Amino acid sequence: MRDILISVICPSFNEEQYIEKILNFFVNSLPADKELFVVDGGSTDRTQDIVNEWSKKYSNISLLHNPHKYVPFAFNIALKVAKGEYISILGAHSEYSHDYFEKILETFINVDADIVGGPTLTRSTSPMQLAVANCISSKFGTGNSKSHYENFRGYTDSVTFGAYKKNVFEDVGVYDERLIRDQDDEFFYRAKSLGKKIYLNPEIKLWYYPRSTFKGLFKQYFQYGLYKPLVLLKIKSEIKVRHLIPSFFTLYFLSTPIIFILHLWVIPLIIYLLLNVAFSFRNKCGFRSKIISLFVYPTIHCAYGLGMIWGIISIRKRS
């Protein structure tokens, strides 16, 4: 029996609309010596039935059960049984280039790195998703995070999903199961703090579908902010200005009634609104998406900022 080169982990929960795309991609991609673990968090749709059907045809596809539902538990469950030299994570809602795994292996061979991956590329099926895609890919939306730069190549703080040399987990540990969000960022930061190298190769291509509603977008970025203080408390060396600006902006925004007393207090708000308009209309998407972008930017910033403020308060309450 051939050794397993890559172990692929895909957390799932009610993914019957997407999971067959992942299974089909896995089966038809190279190399052949790989295994897939779909780790299900208690789906109530046909997700588990679909995976079980495929696992009967392909012995390298397995369904694992995650009673705790969330992603860090799923990853740690699969890691215990993974046989591969490399570990790759897939998101069920993303699409991947046909040579995705080949480019990962090529990068590991040619670059001195412990973790590799590609940038956050996006696809959309609606003006809202297109607007969100443009906003999260701009400096005004998410700061100077290199993982959002489509053509950046080199060492970085993080990559999208990522692939790992398995021995990394012996030195760094596993995913922090307290983190429903930001568990990958925390692991990347922890790995970097221990001397591990993370490399972003733009030839490793995957496409992420952003949130399609303001409610979903707000919840997503609130959770990113909510768990970020715990991440930064653990890895203080990774505290960066871009992590703090949304919280300061949110506090400022909540204080805007002071404008009626101190008129100069309006200046930062005017600057923000001008930047919002400039970045919303400088992208190449259609007019409708440009208008939606005017509301996407403050949704991202306020949600993340409120989440981070609440996260800080929660930590202080526990301490």
- pLDDT tens digits for 158-172? 898 889 999 999 999
Hey, how many other C-beta atoms are within 10 angstroms of the C-beta on 242? 12
Q: Give the pLDDT score at 1.
A: 41
Residue ranges of the chain assigned to CATH 3.90.550.10 = 1-92
The segments of the chain whose pLDDT lies below 70 read 1-2, 144, 238, 318-319
What are the residues facing 7 on neighbouring strands? Answer: 35, 87
Look up residue 304 and give its amino acid.
Y
Q: Give the pLDDT score at 319.
A: 57
CATH number of 1-92: 3.90.550.10
Q: Which residues of 246-275 are buried (b: 16+ CB within 10 A; e: fewer)?
A: bbebbeebeeeeeeeeeeeeeeeeeebeee
Q: Give the pLDDT score at 48.
A: 96
Q: Give the pLDDT score at 309.
A: 92
